[in-house]
Amino acid sequence: MQAVVTNIQGYSIHDGPGIRTVVFLKGCGLRCGWCANPECISSEPQTGFIENLCAQCGKCEAVCPNGAIRPGPDRHRIDYTRCDGCGTCADACNYNALVKYGREISEAEAFEAVRRDKIFYTNGGGVTVSGGEPLLNPEFIAGLFRLCREDGISTCIETSGFVKPENLLKALPFTDLLLFDIKHIDSDKHSEFTGQSNDLILENARLAVSEGAEILFRMPLIPGVNDSEWCVEAIAGFLKQLQGAPELQLMPYHRLGDSKYAALDMPYAFRDVGVMPRDGILRVKESFARLGVDCSVSQ
């Protein structure tokens, strides 16, 4: 099986226990306004433009097979109505001003990249698939994880839960840990900020628990979206219905995806939203603890 991958990142300490290699897959059914990986939303390869690296040499314009390069310094370099993400322009650019987001690889190729990092997988480390929504590619994950299991490498999935239940069931038998996002309990609010209802997500959370999966629920903590006392209480209540001693990890909002929105000429709905102060994060953490949820904060 093959999938479109944007990056295989080694030595990650934020995507599961220990030191991990993270395989980022393209494609997502949600449109979260705060998404830090906009290059992973589309399932197709894309080309981004980093304006401050461009030397205006013209090589990209000369080699583009689709006439998708706009001349001149005063606008975004790529006409996305013509660009098919082939990356020919990026290959020709000597200044790294053009970047390819996405290449198709096989599960065997992904495994070789993961296996090369095996020496670092101490303290429970291993491989994590992320995105985007990796469970849009369940056969690829199952194949990759089967190879990893055979080689003694721990496996982990980061998921929004917005997938068909059968996709989840295909991958779970080969998965050691599920990092499962709960963004909001109110369906209307969830639709407002992500473009989709949370009904399927909550259904899959119940399904994963019923299947006996090892799960760490996570909540992206977004100012003005899900940091209210009501939302905290509602999420705590849902988790306590699922697990006898629920655990939750908070993932505070950050602005690290800002430059990628600019590179892809995409609007960034949360561009003017500031990060939450440390005392605000601790307030939410303490509220969950008071409600009987073992809560940590991703650093």
Q: What is the pLDDT of residues 214-248, one digit of tens each?
A: 999 999 999 999 999 999 999 999 999 998 778 99
Question: What's the confidence (pLDDT) of residue 245?
Answer: 79
All residue ranges of the chain with pLDDT < 50 are none
Q: What CATH number does the domain located at 46-101 have?
A: 3.30.70.20
Beta strands in the chain (DSSP E): 2-12, 20-25, 46-49, 98-101, 103-106, 126-130, 154-159, 177-181, 215-221, 247-252, 294-297
Whole-structure pTM value: 0.95
2-43+105-297 and 46-101, same CATH topology: no
Do 99 and 90 meet the contact criterion of CB atoms below 8 Å apart? yes
- Sorted by where each begins, the domain ranges of the chain are 2-43+105-297, 46-101
Residue 286's nearest CA partner among 277, 295, 299, 276 is 295
Q: Which of 72, 102, 77 shows the shortest CA–CA distance to 87? A: 102
**Fold classification of 2-43+105-297 (topology level):** TIM Barrel (3.20.20)
Distance CA 207, CA 215 (A): 11
SS3 245: coil
Q: Is 53 helix (H, G, I), strand (E, B) or coil?
A: helix
Can you give the pLDDT at residue 1? 86
What is the rounded distance in angstroms from the CA atom of residue 160 to the CA atom of residue 171? 14
